Structure 1
């Protein structure tokens, strides 16, 4: 009976519509814009919690599966208020990763005494473990779990820095032209995947793959996708080089295929407010929205990724 009804409902040459890449879209957390709670980046925890950076309040916070938000740390305010922070003029916490029981976060202040990589260990005050140039804007943070090295994108200086997880003096790993800014911000999001560091360039709208060669040398960059206006952060879906990426100003999340083509899977009608970061836990998709320019409802949006095992 059902098959017969379907045959009547559909033209003879029609095929059922393919399922949408994302479903069960809902906003689970709303943050306080007036308090500077503009969520910039996210690190998922094994126990279901998520640690996030709040760019405008200089904070690292934790979100529980139940939806509560707890502030873990507030980084020091620079003496000049952060007015020399490149491109933005205010201090901000940016990239974040979780490793070995500690949280690692980037902080850009425009000052030499505070800009750099910070570590937050439970029961201890946050500590800067690697200094970065005051005229830079450390933004994306990626961990290579095998080498125990961190990679840091500098959106102002067009550089990828690398430093051991234990901290120390960073090394300029790549200054390739593909990382440079053209107007506002260059190298942005970063992930280690399949023997390479993948980096976005916000100004150029590109996704770039940089092979990690023997001895931790940077290989020749390969532009894997273009036309991604305002691309910020991204995450691999588990299907090879397929990624979900956030397009900040256009208020979109796109699914980018290995051949570089992309499809919009979320937009402002779903509640996006300048999406800054995306992460996956199995099929569960987390999207942070900072509301930098929309100035309305910074939030955490969850969705389910369909068609993936």
Structure 2
């Protein structure tokens, strides 16, 4: 997601924290290799890939934030526009001032759900059906907020939304309706003014919990889902993830891959919270915004929000989930 670059006053402390939190390659680390950019986009047209949801055939559905579009990209890089969200006459979106398509989730029947931030009544969750009909707004979220990461718990029929400005995880019925503030608290909020910009950002449902990244606080959080579906206490599972945007889990355990937007890094985050880079700008990343894992393929969209060379793209890489050997490089 979008993040305002800050002065480098805390650079030394940040580096020190990274050294403490990051660790050497472990025997059980998945290996990410063979990165390759399969599709490029036009930054001048607002084609900034923000979030991703995979299809069963291995193609990827991407939100192109400033173009307000959802596009399907196959593994060969062929693009097909699925939908365009309606233009807003006078957007007043917090943080960015422009209307933007952000999070995306896919149901088993192919229905797509997208968060749309506009600063107007159009802010909320929009549904895109497979029949080619126009997108429909199914839930309205506060115009003063910034609905960002989105996940669908299909078993419970619930959509979860991370609000980056209001520091809230919203809960909305899959069929639409009124949102409920499911989880709140300092851990989800941006930093206090004047430094605060983006709090809760990426969101996933995994292993009986809702996981959320906080960009300002450089953290990965876990919120247990109680038996009555209410939110448990917020747990901090990793720190020192500078510029963290969205993330994805590599398998059944809590190992994750996180997009570190401003650092141009894809980081492997272990269940104990330690982490290390596995892909960098040299591999083709250009302000990565999100991650998806499908089988043995890793998908990383980049939006080029801050790089001088504007190359929004979709990068694919191989994921080897078998145990590697300690000390060997990942690529």
TM-score above 0.5: yes
Map 1:260-275 → 2, pairs under 5 A: 260-275=273-288
Corresponding residue of 1:230 = 243
Match for residue 133 of structure 1 among 142, 166, 189: 142
Which residue in 2 is equivalent to 1:215? 228
Gaps of 5+ in 1: 1-16
Q: CA RMSD in A?
A: 1.5
Specify which of 314, 317, 326 is matched with residue 300 of structure 1. 314
The size of the alignment, in residue pairs, is 290
User: In structure 1, the residue corresponding to 2:291 is in which secondary structure?
Assistant: strand
Q: What residue in structure 1 maps to residue 6 of structure 2?
A: none
> What is the deviation of 1:145?
2.2
2:125 to 117, 140, 143: 117
**Is 1:38 equivalent to 2:48 in the alignment?**
yes
Aligned equivalents of 2:256 and 2:321: distance in 1?
A: 14
> Could you tell me how far 1:268 is from its partner in structure 2?
0.8
1:67 equivalenced with 2:81 (yes/no): no
Change (3 A) 1:239 1:166: closer
Deviations 1:108-136 (A, max 9, x none): 00112x10000011231100000000010
Q: 1:190 maps to which residue?
A: 203
Partner of residue 157, structure 1: 166
Indicate the structure whose relative CO is greater, using CA pairs within 8 Å and at least 6 residues apart.
2
Between Structure 1 and Structure 2, which shows a larger proportion of strand residues?
1
Q: Is the 8 A contact 2:161 2:169 kept in 1?
A: yes
Alignment correspondent of 2:106: 98
Partner of 2:94: 86
Provide the C-alpha distance between the structure 1 equivalents of 2:52 and 2:141, rounded to a whole number of angstroms.
Answer: 21
SS at match of 1:66: coil
- Structure 1 CA distance, aligned partners of 2:163 and 2:297? 29
Structure 2: give runs of 5+ residues left out of the alignment.
1-25, 324-331
Q: Give the distance between the partners of 1:308 and 1:157, measured in 2 at CA.
A: 40
SS in 2 for 1:276: coil
* Structure-2-length-normalised TM-score: 0.85
List, as ranges, runs of 4+ consecutive aligned residues in structure 1 with deviation greater than 6 Å: 17-20
Residue 62 of structure 2 is matched in structure 1 by 52
Asked whether the equivalents of residues 38 and 75 of structure 2 are also in contact (C-alpha less than 8 Å), the reply is: no
TM-score (norm 1): 0.91
